[in-house]
Amino acid sequence: MPRITPQRTEGRSEKRLIFLRFLFVAVFLVYGLRLFSMQILSGEVYRSRAQSIARRTTVIPAQRGEIYDRSYSQPLVLNADSFAVSLTPAEVPRGEMSNLFNRLSELLNIPRDQLEEKIPPQSYFLYQPVELAVNVPYTTIASLAERVDTLPGISWQSKPMRNYQFSGSISHIIGYVGNITRDELTMLYNSGYQQGDVIGKAGIERQYDGILRGKEGWEIRTVDVRGRRIPGEENFRQAPVMGKNLVLSIDQDIQILAEKALGERMGSVVILRPSNGEILALVSYPWYDPNLFNRSDMSDDYNALINDPNKPFLNRAIQSSYPPASTFKIIMTSGILNESAISPLETVDCQGELTYGDRLWRCHIRRPGHGRLNLQQAMAQSCDIYYWVVGRDFLGTERIIYYAKEFGYGDASGIDLPGEISGFIPNPQWKERRFHERWLGGDTMNMSIGQGYTLVTPIQMANMVAMVVNGGKIYKPHILKEVRDPVSGAVERSIQAELLRETSIPSSVFETVRKDMRTVISEGTAQFPLNIKSVQIAGKTGTGEVGLNDRWHSWFASYAPYDSAKPEEQVVVSIIVEAANRWEWWAPYASAIIFQGIFSNQTYEESVRSLGLQQFLPVLGRRE
């Protein structure tokens, strides 16, 4: 076995030392080069990154724009001063959180379990404030300020809330706001919305949320690794920009007039100017109070509204459809005249009933029969038998469908409110697919008087009358009138009339239809309730069957002044009183009150007294 000499061992140790020296030098050089790269070559990048990590950005919400009626002097929605209370969990001493929850629950009137849900134990170390309550009144803030030494971590800041000036039927127009949901955020994230934003949920608040919401501000502050502000460091602040103010076409006086005229009856009223499509009033009953959504404890009331069988959130003017009943005879008359299906002077004998197929068809208006009637007389007396015979034997199914669509039935009006439905116009192909049955002559007869499967909304009914008034044109109905600067009040945008539909039916046909609609008032079915002196009215009644023997839908579609040569003066009124109410045939009377109030510049109470209706009907409206 070979022997290892001391000289050989010393040589190996020296080589190892030399290797270690080179290794240390190499490591030092690598770290030195890396530090040089980080501090000198890429120093600006890392300094910027460190600065961004050490700075926190806080969003400053913008005030929403305010909403006014058409005069710009009557505010409908304002921003009221209010406060939000927040808690910074890490500023609460260890073991004190439970006692703090008890005190806050009493002061803020919030259940303790709700506070615990907002600040769970795993967030106790956070230096970020957590919002506990909104819409906190000044008196509560004063109580908090008095006890601030015993309420560690508590802070408050101004957070304006929406103050809805009227809580009646205007709620379906204005809508309400609320915190953005997860689903809404998913859809709107690319539009600049963020978690915690307040967003319009219904009505104008939702339709024009992008205009009303304004532009958020921000504040950048320097903090340490635990999120605490560093004293002496400079903060940067960008002030928020308030949203634009909206001026609606709604006349609040007419809105209240129509609301009271409808009263506590399920239904709706639409009042518009046919010359440009402006909505002067839009009423749907029942309604709700939008200020309900300003409360932090509104969940029970909200659930009650959601579960209410009368559906107070439903805007019946645009979201409910009904059989048009005898108001459809306006379309039938237009089609008969345009097609020359039968001479307007030729008469049909109404004996009160007729037999067709295996069914006895009775004229709804008059059991003994009207006798022989021409077209004008049939419109005035709303004779079903005349329109049954002419619709079935002379005009025909396809032409009836064609003219219904010419007047806009079956299509949404495009009104600037969310959730509008389009109604429905049936046809033989649809019936065969839906029921596996052929379209029969009885279906045509039903359609001829606005019964059967045809469904229209009150806004579509108003547009139908507008087409007659305008001689073949319908302008897109709209609620927004102007967009204004919130500071100067200057008009930034005015909504112009937009042609929605124009028919090829000659104006001479509509002139005759207008005359026939006038005879409904002067000598026909609406002679008694609409025979008022303040203005001449033209219109058509309708009684929609719902399968009950003691109640029906009550329609009245009309306009005034009938004899006006100035289109900008004319007003269309469309009213539906649902069969859910006790039968009063109220729609014509409500129209009389509305026209009297508009053209005599009277309130609801003054109109009722002028028409003598205070003794005729015991229920005159909701508000006294």
- What residue ranges do the domains of the chain occupy? 82-159
Can you give the pLDDT at residue 621? Answer: 44
Mean pLDDT along residues 155-171: 86
Whole-angstrom distance, CA of residue 495 vs CA of residue 277: 10
pLDDT grade, residue 607 (50/70/90)? very high
Can you give the pLDDT at residue 622? Answer: 40
Whole-angstrom distance, CA of residue 177 vs CA of residue 160: 13
Distance, C-alpha 592 to centroid of its chain: 28
Whole-angstrom distance, CA of residue 117 vs CA of residue 217: 29
Residue 620 has pLDDT above 50, yes or no: no
Residue 410: count of CB within 10 angstroms of its CB:
18
Can you give the pLDDT at residue 446? Answer: 96
Residue 58 has pLDDT above 70, yes or no: no
Please indicate whether residue 616 or residue 89 has the higher confidence score (pLDDT). Answer: 89
Whole-angstrom distance, CA of residue 179 vs CA of residue 45: 38
101: three-class secondary structure by DSSP: helix
Residue 335 has pLDDT above 70, yes or no: yes
pLDDT grade, residue 378 (50/70/90)? very high
Residues whose CB falls within 8 Å of the CB of residue 420, separated by 6 or more in sequence, listed in order? 318, 319, 412, 413, 414, 457, 459
Answer whether the bond into residue 561 is a cis peptide, omega within 30°.
yes
- The string of pLDDT tens digits covering residues 512-528 is 999 999 999 999 989 88
Distance, C-alpha 7 to centroid of its chain: 99
Can you give the pLDDT at residue 233? Answer: 61
Can you give the pLDDT at residue 33? Answer: 75
Residues whose CB falls within 8 Å of the CB of residue 188, separated by 6 or more in sequence, listed in order? 180, 199
- The string of pLDDT tens digits covering residues 430-461 is 999 999 999 999 999 999 999 999 999 999 99
Whole-angstrom distance, CA of residue 258 vs CA of residue 23: 93
Can you give the pLDDT at residue 70? Answer: 96
pLDDT grade, residue 582 (50/70/90)? confident
The CATH classification number of 82-159 equals 3.90.1310.10
Residue 250 has pLDDT above 70, yes or no: yes
> What percentage of the chain reaches a pLDDT higher than 70?
89
Can you give the pLDDT at residue 10? Answer: 63
Mean pLDDT along residues 179-207: 88
Whole-angstrom distance, CA of residue 246 vs CA of residue 491: 10
- The string of pLDDT tens digits covering residues 386-430 is 999 999 999 999 999 999 999 999 999 999 999 999 999 999 999
Cβ(499)–Cβ(476) below 8 Å? yes
Can you give the pLDDT at residue 614? Answer: 76
For the chain, the average pLDDT equals: 88
Please indicate whether residue 551 or residue 315 has the higher confidence score (pLDDT). Answer: 315
**Of 236, 239, 199, residue with least CA distance to 217:** 239
- The string of pLDDT tens digits covering residues 214-233 is 888 877 777 655 555 666 56
Tokens of 428: 């033989």
pLDDT grade, residue 623 (50/70/90)? very low
- The string of pLDDT tens digits covering residues 469-497 is 999 999 999 999 999 999 999 999 999 99
Mean pLDDT along residues 303-309: 90
Q: Lowest-confidence range among 49-63, 327-341, 347-361, 483-497?
A: 49-63
Note the pTM of the prediction, 2 decimals: 0.84
Instruction: Please list the residues that pair with 210 across neighbouring strands.
Output: none
Residue 128 has pLDDT above 80, yes or no: no
Can you give the pLDDT at residue 220? Answer: 76
pLDDT grade, residue 8 (50/70/90)? low
Tokens of 389: 């015979």
